[in-house]
Amino acid sequence: MSTWTQRHLILPAFRRGLHLITPRVTAALPELADTSVGLLHVFIKHTSASLTINENADPDVPSDLDRSLNAIAPENFPYQHTCEGPDDMPAHVKASLMGASLSIPVSQGRLLLGTWQGIFLCEHRNHGGQRTLILTLQGEAA
């Protein structure tokens, strides 16, 4: 029988950059352990932060990704939308590039991420504040 579970996960404010959140996501869904096969959808309810799956072993990877995004969407570009500060419009650009949701397969009670993969919150603002994720798990019970 297929079951659905949905949770709001409120993340604390993080500094600008990419932050590994896989343990927070799995901790928020104890039902994951009872799922033999399924799919987890993770959605962020913000336009200046995003989600990505990337390497979770070498701390240089998230740092380099953040620096690359800053080069793609610099604060000194002549944006028209500037009323919320110089980091706001570049944050919208970065969030659009990275995306607002992820879908991750589930099997035998665990996320089927690769050996070196993790879920990252990409905080694109200098002071973004708390971020809310919607976690939706659909699957067959074990």
> What pLDDT sits at residue 142?
82
Mean pLDDT of 11-23: 98
Residue with tokens 């990505």: 52
The proportion of the chain whose per-residue pLDDT surpasses 90, expressed as a percent, equals 98
2-141: CATH architecture: Sandwich (2.60)
Residue 5 pLDDT: 98
Instruction: Express each pLDDT in 45-70 by its tens digit.
Output: 999 999 999 999 999 999 999 999 99
Contact 46, 95 (CB under 8 A): yes
User: CB-side exposure of 7: number of CA atoms within 13 Å?
Assistant: 17
Q: How confident is the model at residue 40, as a pLDDT? A: 98
pTM of the model: 0.96
Place of tokens 């002071």: 127
Q: Is the pLDDT of residue 84 over 90?
A: yes
Q: How far is CA 36 from the centre of its chain?
A: 24
The DSSP call for residue 28 is T
Length of the chain: 142
In the sheet where 101-107 sits, what is the strand order? 2-11, 131-141, 35-44, 101-107, 110-111
Give the chain's mean pLDDT.
Answer: 97
